[in-house]
């Protein structure tokens, strides 16, 4: 057995930094259970030279193992530990673009980009082909994508991704950001926003981006696609074909910065029977997910997986598990998947849950 040390990235905000070592420990446990055949053992949080590491032992890692582990969300560097000395292991991350793709956007309510990466990784591990994260090309959907943090992470990995969001301002903000970022970074691409029409009615708007990681790849047709629909996520089946995604990953409304409603943009009746200017929002995401998950599950291929993060103050794990199970999904509930609960602020304690489609 060989001992390894994973140096936890220092590039966190203060609160997330406090949870980072525990989260990457849980993430590594899931990687070991689902993709590495249980060969990763003795996973511990350890201080080396006063710096936080996650240490573990394993039979000597293969090149494919290193390719997978290089994408752990809070990994800064990986070392073999030999006689108390650290020997660097060359990393092989999937990243195709600079980190500013994930970090440059700043706005209230943005999901931490490290956690977004963790959620995508852990959801990928729940599929029937977890190594496809590095050896394949899974297609990703975020059905409540906001301003596109999940889409940008998928793009960083070189994956095709799609998103849906009902908020027109978020749609416009993401469209403006991604077009500007691609132009400023001289990434060869095509991008357009069009109306989605059915029988002369406008159902929503669509942003469609085709891009290449390099000019050579773009010219050869080796491209990736990002599609965002500005519409109600409850109508996702109107915009995407059944079984067209390998991963569905989303951050549910926390009931603090964002509320949720099961009927999307439909306006509620006021006391005198007149439409109110603002729909009534629920602090709990459970009602929304109860209505939405069956629609999302139809878009998931057999063997694919869904991952949802949420605020535990406004929804219990058992409630979300019931919602997923009632749509025919197999909830992943081993000890490895129960290590992700962590504090975000005084009003939010976040957790995640994943489920696979048989």
Q: pLDDT at residue 13 above 80?
A: no
The pTM of the full predicted model, rounded to 2 decimals, is 0.91
**Tokens standing for residue 308:** 């949802």
| 331: number of Cβ within 10 Å | 18
pLDDT-based confidence at residue 285 (cuts at 50, 70, 90)? confident
How would CATH label the architecture of 100-264+274-356? 3-Layer(aba) Sandwich (3.40)
So what's the pLDDT on residue 11?
73
Question: Which residues belong to CATH 3.30.70.940 in the chain?
Answer: 2-89
Distance of alpha carbon 194 from alpha carbon 144, whole angstroms: 20
Half-sphere exposure of 274 (CA within 13 A, CB side): 3
pLDDT score at 258: 41
Every domain of the chain with CATH number 3.40.50.150 lies at 100-264+274-356
**Residue whose C-alpha is closest to residue 226's, from 184, 178, 185, 186:** 178
CA–CA gap between residue 307 and residue 126 (Å, rounded): 9
Question: Sorting pLDDT into bands at 50, 70 and 90, what band is 279?
Answer: very low
**CATH (one of 3.90.550.10, 3.30.70.940, 3.40.640.10, 3.40.605.10) for 2-89:** 3.30.70.940
- Binned at pLDDT 50, 70 and 90, residue 84 comes out as confident
pLDDT the model gives residue 282: 52
């Amino acid at each position: 057995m060989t001992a390894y040390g994973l140096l936890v990235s220092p590039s966190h905000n203060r609160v997330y930094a406090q949870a980072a070592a525990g989260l990457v420990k849980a993430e590594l446990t899931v990687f070991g259970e689902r993709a590495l055949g249980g060969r990763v053992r003795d996973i511990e949080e350890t201080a080396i030279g006063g710096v936080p590491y996650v240490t573990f032992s394993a039979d000597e890692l293969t090149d494919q193992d290193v390719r997978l582990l290089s994408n752990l969300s809070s990994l800064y560097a990986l070392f073999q530990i030999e006689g108390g000395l650290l020997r660097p292991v060359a990393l092989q991350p999937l990243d195709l673009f600079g980190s500013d793709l994930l970090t440059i956007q700043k706005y209230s309510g943005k999901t931490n980009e490290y956690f977004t990466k963790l959620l995508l990784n852990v959801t990928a591990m729940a599929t029937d082909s977890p190594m496809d994260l590095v050896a394949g090309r899974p297609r990703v959907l975020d059905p409540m994508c906001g301003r596109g943090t999940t889409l940008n992470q998928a793009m960083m990995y070189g994956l095709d991704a799609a998103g849906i969001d009902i908020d027109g301002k978020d749609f416009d903000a993401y469209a403006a950001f991604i077009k500007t970022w691609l132009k400023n970074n001289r990434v060869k691409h095509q991008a357009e926003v069009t109306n989605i029409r059915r029988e002369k009615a406008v159902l929503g708007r669509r942003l469609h981006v085709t891009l290449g990681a390099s000019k050579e790849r773009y010219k050869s047709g080796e491209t990736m696609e990002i599609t965002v629909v500005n519409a109600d996520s409850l109508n996702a089946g109107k915009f995407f074909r059944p079984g067209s995604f390998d991963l569905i990953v989303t951050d549910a409304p926390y009931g603090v910065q964002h509320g949720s409603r099961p009927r999307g943009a439909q306006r509620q009746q006021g006391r005198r029977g007149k439409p109110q200017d603002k729909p009534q929002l629920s602090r709990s995401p459970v009602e929304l997910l109860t209505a939405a998950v069956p629609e999302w599950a139809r878009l998931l291929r057999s063997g694919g997986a869904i991952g949802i993060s949420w605020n535990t103050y406004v929804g219990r794990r058992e409630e979300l598990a019931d919602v997923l199970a009632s749509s025919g999904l197999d909830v992943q509930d081993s000890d490895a998947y129960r290590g992700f609960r962590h504090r975000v602020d005084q009003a939010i304690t976040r957790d995640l849950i994943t489920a696979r489609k048989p």
